[in-house]
Structure 1
């Protein structure tokens, strides 16, 4: 027997209509190249979204057509999220930090027809345009006064593109499982792979992401997504912000600038933000150097890579609680979130610290299990570590145009490529990426745990650990450190500081100092590049 409930479709259009009608007075603040502080309301935004939908229709887009964006976090990018998806097309956000050949591959593989681009990426597209066989037009995201001269064929200025268009639009009735947006993986091995989100997956992800044990978003909040809109939909904030009516503050191209972030936090009274650890390192560095404060910012979520306890403690000195989150492009991205539980207050500080650095508790809607090399399921005891597999309504079941390479196994489980342990309360600990784990003398060493321990040293700004060749143990960990500016650390003292924090045999025999550690296009430490950089290093 079926229930007697209405069969309403879960679509991004429903988020837009609700936000326009109920949360129309909430603000969106943006830093852009042509306006250092643009401000308007959701109602203003969705009026322009309807104008853009009319402009897209005039150009002749059909349902399912892919339209690319190459853009930072700002109000125009926000408008495109809704105008494209709610019109029935697919909003394909392209990461401008990727190598040009990767961007070329992604645009051609997706068969994008139009590209909306920030002005600073126009020279890049001019270099690539002859190989972009499906692209038939470009829109530069600026006003007429700041429109650059360009050799791009069929190029429009964004404001001119929508100028004069009607601000009413008859939105199509979309099926909830139709494609809404697309994001490609960063492609650290092989070509990037396209993850195709649906309207349904996006709405469900937004609802769960807003709940009290996750982001805990409400209309009173002022949210600054520093995590880019070109990577996994700014972790969903472009959708759950409007859903609940939170004020959004977009830092534009200044997402790694400590001064700009501090000024935005203080002027707009930001109380919640999202970013990778390198962002919080930059913010803390600026605050410590200037003595400035960020009184309104109470909590942030850190994701993308492990956040060391030492960085969390530095943020606490400025009144900010750091929550860990974990997910993947293939998971929209939410998988787990680490918001402190009431029962944790009864534990010792060490017990609380042990839990707070974990990737978080499994969120509703996501199933997880860990398995050994023979695919045997391992217990949730916080000790057993295995390959992490996931399922859920916002987890990808396949990659775009890669039908010959299934993304899931016969039982529908997606292999994350992470090694993890899960305890009896559902706290996930990511012990390493499978490709980054170090095997020494037949035993596994977690590079993440060694990195986090090293970051506790006061002279260490950033640390990375890779496995290098060893004549006796096959591989041994090598610690690579960026020293704190102005310090002259002693490598033996740094290695000695690891004692008692990690297993003794995990301790690297050497520590090397560098001026820079390479990062991927999504802000993670690039172990692949480090292994290449130190390929000739051999322990004697």
Structure 2
């Protein structure tokens, strides 16, 4: 017997209409120019999204087309993220820090018909599309196109330059959103490419809906009307973790912070200024941004009583960083785990109230518990391991917001029996809590034993003299591989490799301690803030680091 419920499609347009009708007073704050804030109400965002859909239609965009966005975190980006899927097309938010070749390939492979671009990035956009056979229309987030011509450069044919505000002038503020299939692609995102070539994932209207609902649940990010959420996660990073869609679903106001022009990441001072100015009760950010904020607060303290909790993802949070925010600033850190392939959130680290205090601490220091929508298993050599909290294997996922394949890529090495291979080595506890040990490619096989680079990084970061630390494995004639750590000291701090090696006493087993140490002024990171270990390995192979080798009996 089938049920009697209506099969109403789960569409992005319904989230937008709901936000305009029920949460019209909630706001989006984005930044233009040199961090100039611009705030818009949800009903205004919805009206401008409808006008944008009319303008895109006149430029030839129809259902199934791909419209790309190359911009910092401006309110117009949020408008586009709703307008494009709602009209039946798919939005592709491009990473502004990726290479020219990547941007060119993304535009070409997806046959992008319109490119929406930040005025600051227009020269870069024009440089890229000059190599396209058929140029998209280029729409600049501005009142007018500055220059003597609206013709596109190079040999590209077909497109023209337009100013968004000129296109929107006089447009209707409602649009007959089509009733597309909820399985239709609504948004595209590329993986960060930390372990190989970037691949595209196509999120459906249905997956965005279900992921947004999970983000709003009390066991997860717990977004609700009246919240003010500051996110430093850019739109090109998995749609800012899906936060805009979840915020519009519940009426939470959102501040989408961009780095200052020319900067790849937010500085501690900049993040502190944003907190002081907007006083959000929630923040979504990365451990790298939190590290910079903590260092700034050490010398420039400010009250953080308005801040209820910080949602942190991208990489595991060092225990020392977690405790520093809790004890010094009274701020709760909640870790989350996910990937582009999982939309991205797959776990949230809220403690189980039925567990002991010891277990609750372990639960919040790990990556969190899987919700009902995500199935997970640990696999080693084709065998599914028990969820006992100590068996280590590759984490595999499946669920309604986990991708089943890559767009235009039929390779099956990342998918097996309907499960996504994450590339992360991890354990799962009997209560379903995840603890990521390391990346498959980053774990260090030494003398038949496995050493977690993440464990060593967190241990080194316990030392108050250390601002940042990254660990890789390097070849060793006797053991196969041994750990090497890059150390970036805090300003004014001094330390020898031996002193830091000794400071690991009681925190790391003797045989796991790094043999090789290098002091650096900067540690390479990817465009999403993770350690770029491929770059570190390459630099080490080129002899770029001055390395000190420690042995237990030495006096170095």
Give, in angstroms, the shift of residue 30 of structure 1. Answer: 1.9
Q: CA deviation at 1:152?
A: 4.0
Count of aligned pairs: 535
User: Cα RMSD between the aligned structures?
Assistant: 2.0
Question: Offset of 1:60 from its aligned partner?
Answer: 1.3
Structure 2 residues not aligned, in runs of 5+: 154-159, 551-556
1:258 equivalenced with 2:285 (yes/no): no
Specify which of 451, 462, 474 is matched with residue 468 of structure 1.
474
Query: Would the aligned equivalents of 2:59 and 2:137 in 1 still touch at CA under 8 Å?
Result: no
Q: For residue 122 of structure 2, what is the aligned residue in structure 1?
A: 122
Q: Is the 8 A contact 2:130 2:152 kept in 1?
A: no
The alpha carbon displacement at 1:443 in A equals: 1.4
In structure 2, the residue matched to 1:222 is 228
* Change beyond 3 A, Cα 1:158–1:294: farther
Deviations 1:413-455 (A, max 9, x none): 1111111111111111111111111111121111011101111
Partners of 1:290 and 1:478 lie apart in 2 by 33
Shift of 1:129: 1.7
Give how far 1:385 is off: 0.2
For residues 271 and 223 of structure 2, the distance between their equivalents in structure 1, rounded to whole angstroms, comes to 20
Give the Å deviation of 1:17: 1.0
Residue 357 of structure 1 corresponds to 365
Q: Which residue of 1 aligns with 2:86?
A: 86
Residue 146 (structure 1) shift: 7.5
Structure 1 unaligned blocks of 5 or more: none
Q: Alignment partner for residue 389 of structure 2, among 345, 370, 382?
A: 382
Secondary structure at 2:36's aligned position in 1? coil
**2: distance between equivalents of 1:468 and 1:377?**
30
- What CA distance in whole angstroms lies between the structure 2 residues aligned with 1:341 and 1:237? 24
Q: 1:236 aligns with which of 211, 232, 242?
A: 242
> Any residues of structure 2 matched to 1:297-316 within 5 Å, and which?
297-316=307-326
TM-score (norm 2): 0.92
**Counterpart in 2 of 1:66?**
66
1:472-487 paired onto structure 2 within 5 Å: 472-487=478-493
Which range moves more in the overlay, 78-87 or 304-313? 304-313
- Where do residues 94-113 of structure 1 align in structure 2 (5 Å cutoff)? 94-113=94-113
Tell me what 2:554 maps to.
none
Whether the 8 Å CA contact 2:350–2:363 is kept in 1: the answer is no
Once the 2 structures are TM-superposed, how far is the Cα of residue 401 of structure 1 from its aligned partner?
1.0
SS of residue paired to 2:189: strand
Give the distance between the partners of 2:82 and 2:445, measured in 1 at CA: 47
The answer (yes or no) to whether the contact 1:32–1:253 under 8 Å persists in 2 is no
Range with greater deviation from structure 2 (376-385 or 274-283): 274-283
Matching residue within 325, 329, 340 for 2:340: 329
Q: 1:307 to 1:133 in 2, by over 3 A?
A: farther
Give the secondary-structure state (helix, strand or coil) at the position aligned to 2:219. coil
After superposition, the C-alpha distances for 1:354-402 in whole angstroms (9 at most, x for unaligned) are 33221111122000000112x1110111110001111001111111111
How far residue 150 of structure 1 moved from its aligned partner, in angstroms, is 8.1
How far apart are 1:95 and its partner, in Å?
Answer: 0.8
Question: In the alignment, what sits opposite 1:501?
Answer: 507
Which position in structure 2 is the counterpart of 1:36? 36
Residue 408 of structure 1: aligned partner = 415
Shift of 1:342: 2.5
Q: Does 1:24 align with 2:24?
A: yes
Name the structure 1 match of 2:526.
520
Query: What is the match of residue 207 of structure 1?
Result: 213
Asked whether the equivalents of residues 440 and 474 of structure 1 are also in contact (C-alpha less than 8 Å), the reply is yes
Measured after TM superposition, the shift of residue 168 of structure 1 is 1.9
Q: Secondary structure at the match of 2:437?
A: strand
